[in-house]
Structure 1
Amino acid sequence: MSVSKRFLQPALRKAALALCVPLLLAAAAPAFAQTAASAADAPGAAPVRAGVEAWFKGRYKVDELRRTPIPGIWEVRIGKDLIYVDDKGQHAFVEGNLVDMRSNRNLTRERTDELLTIDFSTLPLGIAIKQVIGNGKRTMAVFEDPNCGYCRKMRQDMVGLKDVTIYTFVIPILSADSEVKAKKALCADDKGRAWSDMMLQGKVPGNAGSCETPLVKLKELAQKLGVSATPTTFFQNGRRLQGYVPAAQFERLLEENSKS
């Protein structure tokens, strides 16, 4: 769960949104990447960090401080969450997006996408369930729970995909029953077929689910990557897609993010 959802009280949420409005209406300067270099070491960072850390009272760690295109406003990164704070460390807005109104670029979304992108080559594919469709030239990884309704819906759409290799990382996070089903799928002789049959037809493998499985490693991987909901997809360029999108949109994203 994000910092904004866990930390803000309703009154603070209201104040944060109120502050967001005039900031978004301000004329944004050049692109974020061009103005944010080495912000943590720039003069003026100390009071921002001190103010935010005092506000958090030790609940969260400030990982990075960067200047935004708006004079006097800083981006504060807590893990993969972003908030914006004034240069005196006295006011913040936590829910909202920073937009360059000239180019219509959502700078908050661009920065968040950057933070959520991974190095696909570092994924431990050996603990995933591998399925190859067609020539398998496109590659993707997806984190799924056996009791996830949107995962099942996404699986139905995947039947229509062509030329893709799918690595499924099973993370039983929804219920105790999820863990039972996950173990049975991972203990099946044909894991790919067992997973597809379970997600598409509701057929749970008949084995005891008593073999040694990589579930501990799978949960650790999900935690490391900040995957807390299913389905979560990673394309081969490392871009992340959280949640379900319609089949045509998913195909477009898969193709766009499979290009080298």
Structure 2
Amino acid sequence: MLRFATAALLGAISLTACAQPKAPETTAAAAPATADGAVEKRVRDALRQLDPNFNPDYIGAAPFAGFREVVVSGQVLYVTDDGRYLMQAQPYDIGKRALATSEGLLAHRRKLLASLPHSDRIVFAPPNAKYTISVFTDIECGYCRKLHQDIAELNRQGIAVEYLAFPRMGLGSKDHTDMVSVWCASDRKAALTAAKSDRPVEAKNCTNPVTMQYNVGQQLGISGTPAIFAADGTQLGGYLPPAQLKAALERLPGAVGSP
């Protein structure tokens, strides 16, 4: 669900179908900057007809011809270059076996992820990791716990896991305060493992990054946990078994290394 005044934006239209790209690997041909600027203005003007307060985080060329990719409050929308049609669902790239994303969208996500310092993450990493994933996690959700049980195998597969806090019950909830206690523990890794195993964690408070990480997660459009991002900004989805997660990373060109 969109998190700003898009009730007016999306409530004003009925989305029943989306255009299918001619080929998954096809991208729009590069256009002169002036042409791109005119298209972006046309798209902005069209969306403001639906909501005068429309304020996107990002607008850029979609990974297929004829559309602009729009990010607002973390949600990805696609609008035709003529500003007439909008679709809310993110298309699936059959060739890449992943959600269709442009380099512009990936760069937008990388910038958001890079705003979260490495020192504020809870990291489980093998020596000489081949891949690094950023995982927005909750201490209570079943699939978050299942992923944590796979940590040893993920590390054996050469995958480093960098945890970020996303208390799914929201800021101010018990979930939030418990995650603050984890991030304030003297041994964060042990505290997180205990919390995900239903073992008590000593209540603590300190200057902590939980709220900041949660807010960035919202900007990324996260609505559930775990939410896994590759180093290039690709969202790999929720829980995946280690072999499937490694295979997904191997399909991403340039995914090796840390964000």
Q: TM-score, normalised by structure 2?
A: 0.72
Deviates more, 1:61-70 or 1:33-42: 61-70
* Pairwise CA distance, 1:179: 1.6
What's the counterpart of residue 77 of structure 2? 82
1:203 matched to 2:205: no
State, as a whole percentage, how many aligned pairs show the same letter: 24
Query: Which residue of 101, 106, 109 maps to 1:114?
Result: 106
Listed as ranges, the matches of 1:86-235 within 5 Å are 87=82, 89=83, 91-95=84-88, 109-111=100-102, 114=106, 117-118=109-110, 123-133=116-126, 135-161=128-154, 162=156, 163-174=158-169, 176-199=173-196, 201-205=197-201, 207-235=202-230
1:259 matched to 2:256: yes
SS in 2 for 1:245: coil
SS in 2 for 1:169: strand
Is the contact made by 2:40 and 2:59 (CA closer than 8 Å) also made in structure 1? no
Q: What are the ranges of 5 or more consecutive residues in structure 1 without an aligned counterpart?
A: none
Deviation at 1:82?
Answer: 2.4
DSSP 3-state at the match of 2:208: coil
1:130 Cα shift?
2.1
- The question of 1:53 aligning with 2:45 is answered no
The superposition leaves residues 94-123 of structure 1 with CA deviations (integer Å, 9 ceiling, x where unpaired) of 1456689xx967997133863664156654
Matches of 1:241 and 1:104 in 2, distance apart?
Answer: 15
Q: Structure 1 residue 60: deviation in Å?
A: 4.3
Bigger helix fraction: 1
Cα distance, 1:84–1:68 mapped onto 2, change above 3 Å: farther
- 1:36–1:238 CA distance, 2 compared to 1 (3 A): same
Partners of 1:149 and 1:107 lie apart in 2 by: 24
RMSD of aligned alpha carbons: 3.9
Give a deviation string over 1:228-259, Cα, whole Å, max 9, x none: 43212222344332322233211223455553
Secondary structure of 1:202's counterpart equals coil
SS, match of residue 204 in structure 1: coil
Q: Deviations over 1:195-245 (max 9, x none)?
A: 12221x21121x232344332333344345444432122223443323222
More relative contact order, 1 or 2 (CA 8 Å, 6+ apart)? 2
The answer to whether the 8 Å contact 1:74/1:86 transfers is: yes
Distance of aligned partners of 1:170 and 1:186 in 2 relative to their CA distance in 1, 3 Å threshold: same
Report if aligned partners of 1:35, 1:69 keep a CA contact under 8 Å in 2: no
Report if aligned partners of 1:98, 1:106 keep a CA contact under 8 Å in 2. no
Separation of aligned partners in 2, 1:255 and 1:62? 29
Question: Are the structure 2 counterparts of residues 217 and 75 from structure 1 closer, same or farther at C-alpha, using a change threshold of 3 Å?
Answer: closer
The answer to whether the Cα contact below 8 Å between 2:47 and 2:54 also exists between their aligned partners in 1 is: no
TM-score, scaled to structure 1: 0.72
Partners of 1:81 and 1:145 lie apart in 2 by 23
Q: 1:83 to 1:154 in 2, by over 3 A?
A: same
> Could you tell me whether the CA contact under 8 Å between 2:67 and 2:80 is conserved in 1?
yes
1:57 alignment partner, SS class: coil
**Whole-angstrom CA distance in 2 between matches of 1:32 and 1:147:** 40
Query: C-alpha distance in 1, partners of 2:85/2:231?
Result: 36
Query: Which protein has the larger Cα radius of gyration, Structure 1 or Structure 2?
Result: 1
Q: By how many angstroms is 1:140 displaced?
A: 2.4
Query: Aligned partners of 2:203 and 2:58: how far apart in 1?
Result: 45
Which residue of 2 is the match for residue 12 of structure 1?
A: 13
Alpha-carbon distance change, 34 to 99 in structure 1, aligned in 2, over 3 angstroms: farther
- Output the CA distance in 1 between the equivalents of 2:71 and 2:232: 24
Q: State the distance in 1 between where 2:114 and 2:29 align.
A: 28
